[in-house]
Amino acid sequence: MNRNFVSGLIMLAIGVSLVFILIPMGIDTPKKVRYAALSPNYYPYIVAIVLSAIGGAIIVRSRNFQPDDDSPQAHPDAARRICLFLLLLGLYAGALNLLGFVVASMLALVGSLLLAGERRATIIIPVAALLPVVLYLFFYKIANIPIPLGIAAPLLEGL
Amino acid sequence: MIEILQQALFIFATWQNVLLLALGVFIGTFVGAVPGMTTPMAVALTLPFTFTLSPVSGILLLLGVYKGGIYGGSITAILINAPGTPAASCTVLDGYPLARRGEARRALDIALYASCIADFMSNLALILCAGFLASLALAFGSPEVFTLILFSLTIIASVSGDQLLKGLGSAAFGLILAIVGLDLVYGTNRFIFGEVELMSGLNFIPVLIGLFALPEIIAFYGRVEVAREHNPLAGRGAGLGDLRKTLKTIIRGSAIGVILGAIPGIGGAPAAFLSYSEAKRTSKNGDNFGNGEIEGVAAAESGNNGTAGATLIPLLALGIPGDITTAIILGAFMIHGLRPGPLLFQDNLSLIYALFIGIMLSSLYLFAIGKFSIRLISRIADIPHRILFPIVLTLCVFGAYAVNNTVFDIGVMFVMGLFGFMMLKLKIPAAPFLIAFILGPMLEDNFRQSLLMSRGSWSIFFSSPICWFFWLLIVVFVFVLVRRGLSIKLAD
């Protein structure tokens, strides 16, 4: 795959969509602006146009692209493992409010350790059980940061 | 004078002051090392404990936390690629590659030496040149800061390596994301799309963690874990040779930090990047910067820590807090019935000198506490990645939440992680994004404030010798860059 071409295409696409869609839709400008350069969308337009130009230049120059083997240590099951990890991240984010930080983190730790290839229960159980509790004690009890406790609230508040 | 010094020593020399300062440095180092726990947060959390203390004890405790926090941010930047504070974000560029090679202890040692030397020089500047630096700082208005930041952005060309266009594109992404939030001049929405959480803009910490730590973790799941190659420097600390090699860089970085630190509103991150940029431009190993160059760590940390004492110059001399942390410290002064400014030097000179003695001692504490902790924490880098990365992920989630107490920031971190992973796969350098994201708001704010002041006239950017000085530096840098590019092309 010509990664320079893809990079340029992404930059061009984002730059163009900023100029024609995102900036007009996403930036509110007052009806009357005394000087054009002070308008809230003046600087964003400059950056977006520059981004589009850079994207275009990368596409033009991508003809000289020389592919190189950048992943000599790639896992044979790399795509599936990455997809599973991203799924785990999504579930983790969803579970934080639902189950609370401590329980969600315990489950995420077990999942991510197993997915990473760690099989020793003597490592997985202590790490998954202790780390979220230690972090909870530091953030909640010492730094007074209201970490959502979710279903474990009755148990943790007693600590 | 001697009488005042004697009085100052009498005020300072109590066990309570000596211990509280050490405790402050320890707390700051520890908290700064936790991603998401920023130095202002640590100082703010400590503030209530100072209410019952004497003014000197309370302020020294806060100053200890402040100084420890600035150094502590570098620890996680080096060990797990997640800067503890925005100012430590430049340290990841070379610190983490060194840790990956097994040289975490060497990187941490140099970061400590650079931090202590820069902190000491900054303290000296505070004590000896406060008046001069305060007047220099007052000469920096919006147009001067704009040209300074513009010059700092030229580092993007340096950190992009042979991917200049991609680096510039990456920087443009950073500038766009830095725009999100309420408009500074008109108060209108910019890329908020009805999301209240975006009104104050994207927070540095979740973006930085997402951009640096998460892509590394995601990429790990696509790799086979291999044993680290033998490296004779693995597990060893920095020697005298390393210190000698980096001393010039450290002194230059400290000077940059002192000057930028004295200007209200600049902070440690631009100082670190400017110091890094200058070190890369002048070093014999400039091409190795970004791949694990010890000079890069020294440059970033000296620039960052060089601001530590200097930010107190406008606070003590003029009563102007330069950043959030010094604003909290200003609050502490006022709680204790003191009003920083010229009158403080007139009415409470012995108290100021007592603080200076404590500030000088804090550099020694920083060295002792840092040296003691490095021996233990450098072992973190030896933990197998299959165990370390899941732990780092959990730490990042708690850290991202702690910044604003919102799960939204964790979402931002995950999205930035995916974006960073895409950049990693497409070999788009992440460092320019980081630099632009941090410096972008300052660039735009000062650009627009200048135009407001000049009623839309662009001549304001050429209105003072300081502006001209930075324009000249920019022209020289672009000329050198073009000439180097042409010579490489001709050689090919």
Domain range annotation of chain A: 3-62, 78-156
B455 interaction partners in chain A (CB closer than 8 Å): 34-35
Burial of A88-111, coded b for 16+ CB within 10 Å and e otherwise, reads bbeebbebbeebbbbbbbbbbbbb
- Selection from B307, B308, B306 nearest residue B250 by Cα: B306
Q: Do A108 and B393 touch (CB under 8 A)?
A: yes
Residue of B nearest to A101 (CA): B398
Mean pLDDT of A17-37: 89
Alpha-carbon distance values, B61 to A125, B42, B58, B70, B359 (Å) = 39, 11, 5, 15, 10
Q: Indicate the residue of B186, B393, B425 with minimum beta-carbon distance to A30.
A: B186
**Overall average pLDDT of the B409-414 stretch:** 94
* Whole-structure pTM value: 0.81
Q: Look at residues B145, B179, B129 and name the one whose alpha carbon lies nearest to residue B271.
A: B145
Q: Is the Cβ–Cβ distance between B74 and B301 less than 8 Å?
A: yes
Tens digits of per-residue pLDDT, B98-126?
A: 988 888 889 999 999 999 999 999 988 88
Q: Which of B172, B186, B451 sits opposite A35 (nearest CB)?
A: B451
| Coil, strand or helix at B181 | strand
Q: What is the pLDDT of residues B314-347, one digit of tens each?
A: 888 878 777 778 888 888 888 888 888 777 777 7
Query: Among A2-6, A135-139, B41-45, B229-233, which is the least confidently predicted range?
Result: B229-233
pLDDT-based confidence at residue B65 (cuts at 50, 70, 90): very high
- The dihedral over CA atoms of B133, B138, B142, B144, expressed in degrees to the nearest 10, equals -50
Q: For residue B182, give the H/E element and its range.
A: strand B181-182
Q: pLDDT confidence of B464, banded at 50, 70, 90?
A: very high
Is A116 in Cβ contact with B386 (below 8 Å)? yes
Cβ <8 Å between B395 and A135: yes
pLDDT at A90: 94
Closest CA to B460 of B471, B448, B450, B470: B450
The token pair that represents B307 in the structure block: 């601001």
State the residue for tokens 């005042």. Answer: B4
> Would you state the pLDDT for residue A95?
94
Tokens of residue B286, six digits:
């400039």
The two three-digit tokens of residue A155, written as one number: 């148990």
Residues of A in contact with B189 (CB under 8 A): 26-28
Residue B265 or A26, more confident: A26
In angstroms, the CA B137 to CA B151 distance is 18
Model pLDDT, residue B160: 77
Residues within 8 A of B (CB atoms), A 16-75 only: 18, 22, 26-30, 33-38, 40-41, 43-44, 47-48, 50-51, 54-55, 57-58, 61, 70-71, 73-75
Higher pLDDT pick, B477 / A10: A10
ipTM of the complex: 0.92
Residues in B closer than 8 angstroms to A59, CB to CB, are none
Contact between A122 and A70 under an 8 Å Cβ cutoff? The reply is no
Among A residues 101-130, those touching chain B with beta carbons less than 8 Å apart = 101, 105, 108-109, 112-113, 115-118, 123, 127
User: Residue B403 to residues B21, B42, B208, B389, B448: CA-CA distances in angstroms?
Assistant: 25, 11, 12, 21, 28
| CB atoms near residue A159 (< 10 Å) | 9
SS (H, E, C) B252-307: HHHHHHHHHHHCCCCCHHHHHHHHHHHHHHHCCCHHHCCCCCHHHHHHHHHHHHHH
Q: Where are the domains of chain B?
A: 2-491
| Cross-chain residue pair B220–A116, CB shorter than 8 Å | yes
Number of continuous H segments (helices) and E segments (strands) in chain A: 7, 0
> What residues of B are in contact with residue A7 (Cβ under 8 Å)?
166, 169, 426-428
Q: Bigger pLDDT: B57 or B321?
A: B57
Residue A27, φ and ψ in degrees, nearest 5: -120, 120
Of the pLDDT bands very low, low, confident and very high (cuts 50, 70, 90), residue B229 is low
Distance separating the N- and C-terminal Cα atoms of chain A:
54
Q: Do residue B190 and residue A18 have CB atoms under 8 angstroms apart?
A: no
Q: Cβ of A40 and B185 within 8 Å?
A: yes
Look at A48 and B176 and tell me if their CB atoms are within 8 Å: yes
d(C-alpha B330, C-alpha B344), whole Å: 12
What residues contact B373, with CB distance under 8 A and at least 6 apart? Answer: B29, B75
Do residue A26 and residue B427 have CB atoms under 8 angstroms apart? no
